[in-house]
Chain A
Amino acid sequence: RKEVEQDPGPFNVPEGATVAFNCTYSNSASQSFFWYRQDCRKEPKLLMSVYSSGNEDGRFTAQLNRASQYISLLIRDSKLSDSATYLCVVNIPSNTGKLIFGQGTTLQVKP
């Protein structure tokens, strides 16, 4: 079993749609969770952290379910500019800050 698993997609949605991505992780000791965004041929960039209580940043909502070891990202009112690959990232507890990256879920928003 992979340490972080994501549905690779692609998810093809029309502008204005709501889309949700899911991610599962295997290490129950993990404490930090993130979503990164990666545009084609660019570096990954931090999108948002994921907190136990859930958190929202504009049109983006991240949720964490520790019991199920499951993380989600919800994007409302999709824009063409949201087209990218979204990486689920989970820490492995250590003093070196080790992060495990999922393979990513590709989103294509169409006019």
Chain B
Amino acid sequence: DAGITQSPRHKVTETGTPVTLRCHQTENHRYMYWYRQDPGHGLRLIHYSYGVKDTDKGEVSDGYSVSRSKTEDFLLTLESATSSQTSVYFCAIKGSLDWQFVKYFGPGTRLTVL
């Protein structure tokens, strides 16, 4: 158990509304990530953070912003939700296994944009 929680776990919203998803971790990990998972695409990196106030874009960052004001919390915001952002969103932290970096995931948030 990597000590990661996500909220909300499920959300239905309407096109054009702002949405914020929260990821919370209890183990003081420096790196945190937001992914989305869609059929036919697998897991794709949206944004990641390498410390408080330090964030960078992933491969599918358009339409998303993030913030990290505390080590334990990483927020993902959809400024104006669109139907193409209907997806399952996973937060992850970077851990280590032997000499390698691995990812441990939170339980996911299922977002539907109508």
| Interface of B (DSSP majority class) | strand
Given A99-B103, A101-B43, A104-B42, verify A42-B98 contact (CB < 8 Å): no
Nearest residue in A to B107 (C-beta to C-beta)?
A43
Given A43-B107, A43-B108, A96-B31, verify A34-B42 contact (CB < 8 Å): no
Nearest residue in B to A33 (C-beta to C-beta)?
B100
Tell me the number of A-to-B contacts counted with CB atoms below 8 Å.
49
Counting CB contacts under 8 A, is A72 at the interface? no
Q: Is A43 a contact partner of B41 (Cβ separation < 8 A)? A: no
The total of chain A residues at the interface (CB under 8 A) is 20
Counting CB contacts under 8 A, is A61 at the interface? no
Residues of chain B having any CB pair with chain A under 8 Å: 31, 40-43, 45, 48, 50, 56, 90, 94, 97-98, 100-108, 110
Residues of chain A having any CB pair with chain B under 8 Å: 31-32, 34, 41-46, 49, 87, 91, 96-99, 101-104
